[in-house]
Copies of this chain bind each other. A is one copy, B any other.
Amino acid sequence: MSASKKDIVEFLVQEFPKSRCRVDEVGGGSATVSHEVGPDDLRPGATVFGPLLMTVADVALYVAILGEIGIVPLAVTTNLTINFLRRPSAGKRIIGRCRLLKVGKRQAVGEVLLYSEGDPQAVSHAVGTYSIPPTR
């Protein structure tokens, strides 16, 4: 019941046409997505607006889960916790690497490490839960 990267990209383009998140990799209970950082995404301190990081974390989780369970549009986030660790670079893409910790019948849980492109130290860590609708 898994979905390929191509399936997921097509689904996201159709359902989230304005999304600026790009799917880089998906499979094996993992996913990597990335997001450009433009001048409007910055906040005081020459760093990235926090909600952009939350968006990348949420999308990375969604993509990893769709990769496992197939295109289930109504899978929805029930819980997300994000810790901001370091100041992301103002001029670099944000990369989100998700690793699923559990994929059950009713819910999936995963964690996401977020990076400024090219920097090995994570800027944020997120962990989140998706609810999977019972009739699929």
Residues on A facing B (Cβ under 8 Å): 15-18, 40, 43-45, 47, 49-51, 54-55, 58, 73-74, 76-87, 101-102, 106-107, 109, 111, 122, 125, 127, 129, 131
The residue in chain B whose Cβ has the minimal distance to the Cβ of A87 is B76
- Shortest A33–chain B CB gap in Å is 13
Copies in the complex: 4
Q: Which residue of B44, B55, B76, B127 is within 8 Å of A73 (Cβ)?
A: B44
CA distance A85 to B108 in the complex (A): 9
> What residues of chain B lie closer than 8 Å to A18, measured between beta carbons?
40
CA distance A74 to B87 in the complex (A): 11
Q: Is the CB of B86 within 8 A of A102?
A: yes
